[in-house]
């Protein structure tokens, strides 16, 4: 399937607001990939599909994960996390994406994980710093994402995420704190 064909198809899965976000993530992922020597084509594809399951009903998401037999523990965590796992399933089954590295970038875009690839970090960060985001420190993080190595931006991003989640007293998915620990242990 061409990128343009995928784009048209993705639009049918999403509401307008979410689709606009996705197009901004594609744009940001393309720039970050170029900047960091990551495959632009893979980055654009992963970005286009990262939230493809975002508008699916909770029970459909649960069913898809149960059927896949993979990442079942995510079902014991907040349903906001489910769309990333189902996104990877839809990318493969409904868009014909076979490259595991692209599917992983989709699968881990919400939580991060330890040992992320550059492609995974590009998607995680593009999602966070796309031009429509407006949290207080977004400019700063965007600058680090372009001016420094991806790991530096990822360390800031995952620390903020863990701090935010803890401040809300919500459970933190193991991949997220494994990602956090890896970055904090690397600093010394
Ligand atoms: O899909 P997006 O809105 O573009 O962004 P996302 O997929 O990165 O994040 C979706 C939500 O998931 C966001 O509001 C924060 C939340 N989240 C991320 N990691 C965790 C989490 N929620 C819980 N409970 N635990 C996590 O580890
Ligand atoms: Fe998402
Ligand atoms: Fe994200
Ligand atoms: Fe997103």
Percentage of residues of the chain with pLDDT beyond 70: 99
Residue 188: pLDDT over 90: no
Tell me the mean pLDDT in the region 149-162: 98
pLDDT of residue 62 exceeding 70: yes
Please identify every residue whose CB atom is under 5 Å from ligand 2, which is an ion.
Answer: 51
Atom of ligand 1 at shortest range from CA of 162: 27
Q: CA–CA distance from 61 to each of 54, 94, 108 (Å)?
A: 9, 15, 16
Interval 19-43 mean pLDDT: 98
Q: Residue 187's pLDDT is what?
A: 73
Q: Which atom of ligand 1 is nearest to the CA of 51?
A: 1
Q: Give the Cα separation of 124 and 157 in Å (integer).
A: 9
The protein residue whose alpha carbon is closest to atom 21 in ligand 1 is: 81
Average of per-residue pLDDT across 109-124: 98
Choice from 25, 110, 160, 178 to test ligand 1 binding pocket (greatest atom count within 8 A of CB): 110
Judge whether residue 32 has pLDDT over 60: yes
Mean pLDDT, residues 87-101 taken together: 98
What gap in Å lies between CA 5 and CA 114, rounded to an integer?
33
Supply the mean pLDDT for the chain.
97
Whole-complex ipTM:
0.87
- For residues 133 and 70, give the distance between their C-alpha atoms in angstroms, rounded to a whole number: 31
Q: Domains plus CATH for the chain?
A: 3-187 (1.10.3210.10)
């Amino acid at each position: 399937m061409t990128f343009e064909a995928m784009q048209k198809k993705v639009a049918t899965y999403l509401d307008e607001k979410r689709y606009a976000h996705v197009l901004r993530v594609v744009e940001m992922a393309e720039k970050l990939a170029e900047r960091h020597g990551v495959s632009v084509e893979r980055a654009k594809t992963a970005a286009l599909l990262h939230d493809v399951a975002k508008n699916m009903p909770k029970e459909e998401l649960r069913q898809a994960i149960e059927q896949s037999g993979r990442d079942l523990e995510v079902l014991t965590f907040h349903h906001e996390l489910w769309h990333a796992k189902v996104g990877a399933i839809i990318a493969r089954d409904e868009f014909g994406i076979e490259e595991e590295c692209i599917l992983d970038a989709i699968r881990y875009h919400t939580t991060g994980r330890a040992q992320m690839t550059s492609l995974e970090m590009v998607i995680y960060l593009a999602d966070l710093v796309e031009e429509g985001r407006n949290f207080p420190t977004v400019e700063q993080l965007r600058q680090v994402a372009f001016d420094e190595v991806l790991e530096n931006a990822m360390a800031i991003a995952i620390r903020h995420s863990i701090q935010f989640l803890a401040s809300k007293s919500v459970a933190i998915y193991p991949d997220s704190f494994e990602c956090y620990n890896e970055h904090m242990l690397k600093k010394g």
